[in-house]
Structure 1
Amino acid sequence: MAKKKRFLKMKIATLIMIAVMLVITGCSQSSGTSVKDGSNESKSSSGTLKIGFILSQTGTFAPLSEGIINGFKLYLEKHDGMLGGKKVEIKVEDDEANPQVALRKYRQLIHSEKVDILVGPISSSVVYALRDEVEKDKIVLIDANAAGDDLSWSKKSDYVYRISFSNWQNGSSAAKYLANNVGKTAVVLAPDYPAGKEVLRAFKDAFEAAGGKVVKELYPKLNTNDFAPYLQQASAENPDLIYAFFTGSDGIRFVTQYKEFGLKGQIPLAGTLEFGDELITQPAGEAAEGIITGINYSPYLDNELNKQFVQAYEEKYGKLPNIFSVQGYDSAAIIDKAVTEAGSANSEDLIKVLKGISFDSPRGPITIDPATNNPIQNFYIAKNKLKDGGIVPEVIETVENVTMPETSPFE
Structure 2
Amino acid sequence: MSPTRRLVLSRSAALVGAASSGLLLPQLARAQGAKVRVGFMLPYTGTFAQLGVAIENGVRMAIAEQGGKLGGREIEWFKVDDESEPAKGIENANKLVQRDKVDVLIGTVHSGVQMGIQKVARDSGVLTLIPNAGVHAATRALCAPNVFRASFTNSQPTLALGQAMVAKGHKRAVWITWKYAAGDEAYEGFKDSYTKAGGTIVKELGLPFPNVEFQALLTEIASLKPDAVACFFAGGGAAKFIRDYAAAGLKDKIPLYGSGFLTEGVLDAAGPAADGIITTMHYSDSLDTPRNKQFRLDYVKMFRSQPDVYAVQGYDTGLLLAQGAKAVNGDLTGNKPALYKALESATIDSPRGKWTMSKAHNPVQDIYLRRVENKENKVIGIAAKALSDSGAGCKMG
How many residues get paired?
A: 368
Deviations 1:246-290 (A, max 9, x none): 12222222222222232222211101121343x122432322211
**Which residue of 74, 96, 101 maps to 1:87?**
74
SS in 2 for 1:262: coil
Q: Residues of 2 paired with 1:185 and 1:110: CA distance?
A: 49
Provide the residue aligned with 1:383 in structure 2: 371
Q: What TM-score comes out, normalization by structure 2 length?
A: 0.86
Counterpart AA for 1:100:
A
**Which residue of 315, 327, 334 maps to 1:329?**
315
Runs of 4 or more consecutive aligned structure 1 residues displaced over 4 Å after TM superposition? none
Distance verdict in 2 for CA 1:88–1:229, change over 3 Å: farther
How far is 1:120 from its partner? 1.1
Matches within 5 A, 1:203-352: 203-277=190-264, 279-343=265-329, 344-346=331-333, 348=336, 349-352=338-341
Counterpart AA for 2:213:
D
**Which residue of 344, 352, 364 maps to 1:363?**
352
Q: What TM-score comes out, normalization by structure 1 length?
A: 0.83
How far is 1:398 from its partner? 4.7
Counterpart AA for 2:382:
E
Deviations 1:57-102 (A, max 9, x none): 3333333222212212322333343233222232222222222212
Deviations 1:7-34 (A, max 9, x none): xxxxxxxxxxxxxxxxx9xxx99x97xx
Provide the residue aligned with 1:405 in structure 2: 390
**Which residue of 98, 101, 111 maps to 1:111?**
98
Provide the residue aligned with 1:194 in structure 2: 181
Provide the residue aligned with 1:73 in structure 2: 60
Return 5+ residue gaps in structure 2 as ranges.
Answer: 1-17
Distance verdict in 2 for CA 1:303–1:256, change over 3 Å: same
Q: Residues of 1 paired with 2:274 and 2:79: CA distance?
A: 33
Distance verdict in 2 for CA 1:345–1:113, change over 3 Å: same
Distance verdict in 2 for CA 1:255–1:159, change over 3 Å: same
Provide the residue aligned with 2:153 in structure 1: 166
Identity of aligned residues (%): 29
Q: Residues of 1 paired with 2:299 and 2:73: CA distance?
A: 23
Q: Is the 8 A contact 2:63 2:319 kept in 1?
A: no
Distance verdict in 2 for CA 1:380–1:152, change over 3 Å: same
Q: Is the 8 A contact 1:299 1:320 kept in 2?
A: no
SS in 2 for 1:187: strand
SS in 2 for 1:190: strand
SS in 1 for 2:384: strand
Cα root mean square deviation, aligned: 2.4
Distance verdict in 2 for CA 1:267–1:59, change over 3 Å: farther
Q: Is the 8 A contact 2:280 2:367 kept in 1?
A: yes
Provide the residue aligned with 1:19 in structure 2: none
| Worse-superposed segment, 215-224 or 103-112 | 215-224
Q: Is the 8 A contact 1:385 1:394 kept in 2?
A: no
Q: Is the 8 A contact 1:141 1:159 kept in 2?
A: yes
Return 5+ residue gaps in structure 1 as ranges.
Answer: 1-23, 33-40
The structure having more radius of gyration, on CA atoms, is 1
